[in-house]
Amino acid sequence: MKYYQRDGMVEIVGVSDFDLERIFECGQCFRWNADENGVYTGIAFGIAARIFRDGDSIFISGTIDDFESVWLDYFDLNRDYSAIRQGLCIDDFMMEATTQGAGIRILRQEKWEALCSFIISQCNNIPRIKSIISTLCREFGSAVMLDGETYYSFPSAQTVAELDVHALAPLRCGYRAQYIITAAKAVASGELNLDAISLISPLEAKATLKKLHGVGDKVADCVLLFGLNMLDAFPVDVWMKRAMAEHFEAGFDYRVFSPYAGVAQQYIFHYVRNVRGV
């Protein structure tokens, strides 16, 4: 991989397994949106950006410093996903799933944002999740400018911890409002140290997350995978339960995919949702 500054953009060449639609539309993040030309605009770590592919090159707005300090890590560009896919091809089904899902990468998202976002995600569809998060950011985040347009950063846990459920009424997130505030207070106070739990075992980290009111197995696993970059976490929702029942023998142990069970989960999820069906 190489990258160059190009008139307010950074051009990235030599990256395999990088498909913007598959990365942004697989349910792992909720702050990127595409226009009619396939250009995605989003914000992460307080920086707004546009990103698109042109031929073999990927272009992202900003400077080399932005790329090296944020986007290189955010898009997990130093990891060889082609090699991971090959290692996950344990049978014909996984061979097809990994082929159809080529281009998916696990984003390295901000930990508090991931926790809050997946608390919001429970029993919700993606358009509604995006709407709630957008309102949360507009109401309580900081303005960030990009090409004359205003975007909003994700509010810190400290900011949200000072709110009450009435302040979150514009989000129209129902019972999740109390879960959001409870989690924010835990993070802001240091009771829940997300940096620290990212360094312990996934089992311990999951147990710690589940101590939060409103965080069950699915939300905890999503936070492990998409927020703490624990690539062996394996979130299971209704779609995954159906897929596992349909395509694997009873009692199948997903740990056969270790240490990349979470990447396998994304390939399976994409395949059964978008290509084959359960």
8 Å CB contact between 227 and 195:
no
* Domain spans of the chain, in order of start: 2-78, 111-226
Q: How many residues in the chain?
A: 278
8 Å CB contact between 222 and 121:
yes
Q: With 0.85 as the threshold, say if the pTM is over it.
A: yes
Q: How many helices (H) and strands (E) does the chain have?
A: 14, 8
Q: What is the pLDDT of residue 64?
A: 96
DSSP 114-138: HHHHHHHHTT--HHHHHHHHHHHHH
Options 3.40.50.300, 3.30.310.260, 1.20.120.1200, 2.60.40.10; CATH for 2-78 is 3.30.310.260
Mention every residue, 6+ apart, whose C-beta is less than 8 A from residue 169.
177
Buried b (16+ CB within 10 A) or exposed e, 147-184: eeeebbbbbbbeebbebeeeebeebebeebbebbbbbb
CA dihedral 63, 67, 68, 72 (to 10 degrees): -170
**Structure confidence by residue, pLDDT tens digits, 240-255:** 998 899 889 888 999 9
Phi, psi of 43 (to 5 degrees): -145, 135
Q: What is the pLDDT of residue 238?
A: 85
**Structure confidence by residue, pLDDT tens digits, 136-192:** 999 999 999 999 999 999 999 999 999 999 999 999 999 999 999 999 999 999 999
Q: What is the pLDDT of residue 277?
A: 56
**Structure confidence by residue, pLDDT tens digits, 199-212:** 999 999 999 999 99
Query: 111-226: same fold as 2-78?
Result: no
Distance between CA 199 and CA 248 in Å, rounded?
32
**Structure confidence by residue, pLDDT tens digits, 12-66:** 999 999 999 999 998 999 999 999 999 999 999 999 999 999 999 999 999 999 9
8 Å CB contact between 202 and 232:
yes
Token match 């410093």: residue? Answer: 65
Q: What is the pLDDT of residue 197?
A: 97
Mention every residue, 6+ apart, whose C-beta is less than 8 A from residue 50.
39, 40, 41, 60, 61, 146, 147
- For the record, the structure tokens of 167 come out as 């302040």
Spell out the CATH class of 111-226. Answer: mainly alpha
